[in-house]
Amino acid sequence: MNKNSCKNRAAGSTPRINMIGAYLKELFGEKVVKLSLDGGFTCPNRDGSKGTGGCIFCSADGSGDFASDIPGQMKLLSDKWPRAKYILYFQAHTNTYAPAGELRAKFGSALSYPFEGGAPVGIAIATRPDCLADDVLDYLSELNEQTFLWVELGLQTARDDTAALINRCYPRAVYEDAVAKLTARGIPVVTHLIFGLPGESKEDMLDSVRYAAQPLREPFPGNRYLPASKHIFGLKFHLLNIIKGSRMENLYPGYVPFDSIESYIELVTDALRIVPPDITMHRLTADAARSLLIAPEWSYRKRTILNGIEARMRALDAFQGDMYE
């Protein structure tokens, strides 16, 4: 039985999942699409300052395999959504791994790119929680005043033993501090989790979701775009893909995360039900380029996975957060 079922929910009119796409459309009045950009950063978990070799799941491109140039992406996206607004998404590698002055130059020049149809409405910056020095936080606060910003933190798992296994090279206490510092400044945080890491049970994965979705140390005070909240702004669920060229390919030959597409769909729906409804969902699976994908072989069937999640939520009459305690 749903623990938090709401009698006023009219199935079919209330979205079962608080997806970021619908959230941004409401916020900006038009469809908003992300342009994935490579800012030319590297990663401290590759160059030896935090670790070497990188996280074992990470591809040679630093998990930014779809990043490309602005004009090329604009052409593709504007043909599909001529009225869309844009968020600049710095995804590849660690996008705050540079002095604040360099960040200002890179992000500033991207934000001033002459977009047809107007300036981008925001910027999303993916990084590690151990790459947020005070001067970087000060700069991000400035950026947060200037435009709609969120910072994505790659947590992957709440378990420190799994984190050591995947060579994440920071303990979860560092993540907690980073979230507290960012949210205290009114900077929205989106947390990235990976489902299917070696050695983790379904309950471990759900524990990571509970951990990321727990109330903040101090509530997010709100900013000119977002209301105050007790929680992080968003969550990303990423299916572990074994990618050619990642260390996992050699360390775990033959490893297949999840024994079926159905077991992944079941996990994600169960996870959504323990995420508070005000947390926006930025991703429910992962789409690796087929040329790079080793396993699971079904992971490229993104539409099938998303439809399966929707169908299971409907069949259970489930809503995001209805099992949140």
Q: Which residues, numbered 26-55, are part of the site for ligand SF4 (CB under 6 A)?
A: 43, 45-46, 54-55
Tokens of 312: 């299971």
Q: Which is nearer to ligand SF4, 288 or 313 (CB)?
A: 288
Would strands 280-283 and 234-239 be described as parallel, antiparallel, or unpaired? Answer: parallel
Q: How far is the CB of 192 from ligand SF4 (least distance, A)?
A: 9
Is 42 or 147 the residue whose CB approaches ligand SF4 more closely? 42
Contact between 273 and ligand SF4 per CB under 6 A? no
93 scored as a contact of ligand SF4 (CB under 6 A): yes
Q: Show the DSSP H helices in the chain as ranges.
A: 20-28, 70-80, 100-111, 134-146, 160-165, 172-184, 202-213, 247-251, 261-272, 302-315
Burial of residue 125 (number of CB atoms within 10 Å: 0-12, 13-18, 19+)? buried
> Which residue has 């999640």 as its token pair?
309
Question: Closer CB to ligand SF4, residue 46 or residue 85?
Answer: 46
Q: Which is nearer to ligand SF4, 128 or 236 (CB)?
A: 128
Count how many Cα atoms sit within 13 Å of the Cα of residue 303 in the half-sphere of its side chain.
0
Q: Could you give the angle at the alpha carbon of 122 between the alpha carbons of 273 and 185, nearest 5°?
A: 75
CB-nearer residue toward ligand SF4: 21 or 51: 51
User: In terms of CB distance, is 128 or 273 closer to ligand SF4?
Assistant: 128
At 154, give phi and psi (nearest 5°): -85, 90
Nearer to ligand SF4, 60 or 228 (CB): 60
C-beta of 39 vs 54, nearer to ligand SF4: 54
Tokens of 172: 């979860």
Reduce the DSSP state of residue 120 to 3 states and report it: coil
Site for ligand SF4 in 209-238 (CB under 6 A): none
Which residues share a beta bridge with 191? 153, 235
Which positions from 125 to 164 touch ligand SF4 by CB under 6 A, shown as an x/- string?
Answer: ---x-------------------------x----------
Least distance (Å) between residue 266 CB and ligand SF4: 26
Site string for ligand SF4, 50-89 (x = CB under 6 A): ----xx--x---xx--------------------------
The reply to whether 192 sits near ligand SF4 by the rule CB under 6 A is no
CB of 97 to ligand SF4, least distance (A): 9
Residue with tokens 């299916």: 239
Candidate residues 18, 73, 91, 94; the one interacting with ligand SF4 per rule CB under 6 A:
94
Q: What is the DSSP letter of 184?
A: H
Q: How far is CA 7 from the centre of its chain?
A: 31
Q: Quick check: helix, strand or coil at residue 294? A: strand
Binding interface with ligand SF4 (CB under 6 A): 43, 45-46, 54-55, 58, 62-63, 93-94, 128, 154
